[in-house]
Amino acid sequence: MPDPLDRVGNASLKDQLAKIRRMFGDSVPTQELQREVQGFQGQRGIYKPAGSEYALWVRQTLRGAYPDEEPAFYPDGSWTYRYSPEGRDGRPDLELPTNRGLLRCQADHVPVGVFRQADSKPGRGGYEVLGLAFVDGFDGTHFILRGEPIDWTATPQADRLVPTFAPFELDPAPSEAANRTLRDRRFGAVIRRIYHDKCSLCSVGYRLRGKSLGLDAAHIIPVEERGNIADIRNGLLLCRNHHSLFDGFAWTMDEDLRVILTPDEDFRRSAMANHVLSWEGKRLPNLPELAEDLPAPEAIQWRLAEFEKV
């Protein structure tokens, strides 16, 4: 499938959408967004550039008048978000230019950017960039926005349909190679979100000035083995300590997500000060809320086979 932005004929609009795509998963200070994103300095809610048929972005603020909801994420990294239309006298009015801009995006399958305010403290205000989304419809109270998957050239799965897990990626075509780093970063952004910025093993999650520190999105089947980086079921969120031990095959998990430790005596002696030993035989304590987002059995089986070779 070609890049959906290829259908956007307006060069300025396409450039803005590409910029928002690159910000996917970031927490960006408000001042930076005001410099980089058209309309962000003055407009709230839905922004439709003057003279454009299409809305460019939607923006939820912490003290907004409309009851928007938390996004729901899917294994391919796509997500669904219900966003309130703008209205008059407390009622949605789809004839408003901003709402018509979203409806035109739906009709022509043109994406919009989605921003959610993460912090409103003076000097620290910022927004989580959910990235680009397509308008799937209007349910009478909300627009249904469906976010791009990690691999934005793929078609998102139908709502609540769990895709078949593919453990390995095909060798990327040359045109895809330049985007691989961005796709891997998008993989990490979704993993951090569904694990709530805490290590799957020890539940530690450091934050400094509103940003997460010391955590990595670990691939169960590594990238160098062509492990899938477009499906979050090939991932875990780990602190750098436990990520290093995971990559070194000091520990792994079984299909019930219980921790297995190496029998190596040197490791066990040296790990006495690390509470990884206390989790042996126990289920990982920090996991995604949705069953379809849990690590895939096929990825775990591959990891177990490699673990037993060491």
For 136-190, write each residue's pLDDT tens digit: 999 998 999 999 999 998 877 666 678 889 999 876 554 566 677 888 999 999 9
Q: What counts of helices (H) and strands (E) characterise the chain?
A: 8, 16
Q: Is residue 227 domain-shared with residue 279, that is, in the same domain? A: yes
Q: Is residue 197 domain-shared with residue 234, that is, in the same domain? A: yes
Indicate whether 203 belongs to any domain.
yes
Indicate whether 164 belongs to any domain.
no
CATH code, domain with 133: 2.30.280.10
The Cα 277–Cα 259 span in angstroms is: 9
Cα dihedral across residues 172, 176, 179, 182: positive or negative? negative
Domain containing 80: what range?
4-147
Determine the pLDDT at residue 18: 96
Q: Is residue 185 domain-shared with residue 111, that is, in the same domain? A: no
Binned at pLDDT 50, 70 and 90, residue 92 comes out as confident
Q: Is residue 203 domain-shared with residue 250, that is, in the same domain? A: yes
Q: Is residue 8 domain-shared with residue 134, that is, in the same domain? A: yes
Q: Is residue 91 domain-shared with residue 207, that is, in the same domain? A: no
Residue 301: closest CA among 233, 235, 236, 255: 255
18 Cβ contact list (under 8 Å, min separation 6) = 5
CB-CB neighbours of 73 under 10 Å: 23
Model pTM score: 0.89
Q: Is residue 246 domain-shared with residue 186, that is, in the same domain? A: yes
Q: Is residue 84 domain-shared with residue 195, that is, in the same domain? A: no
Determine the pLDDT at residue 160: 62
Q: Is residue 119 domain-shared with residue 243, that is, in the same domain? A: no
Which of 197-211, 218-232, 233-247 shows the lowest mean pLDDT across its residues? Answer: 197-211
Determine the pLDDT at residue 174: 46
For residues 108 and 141, is the Cβ–Cβ distance under 8 A?
no
The whole-angstrom distance between residue 233's C-alpha and the CA centroid of its chain comes to 13
Q: How many domains does the chain have?
A: 2
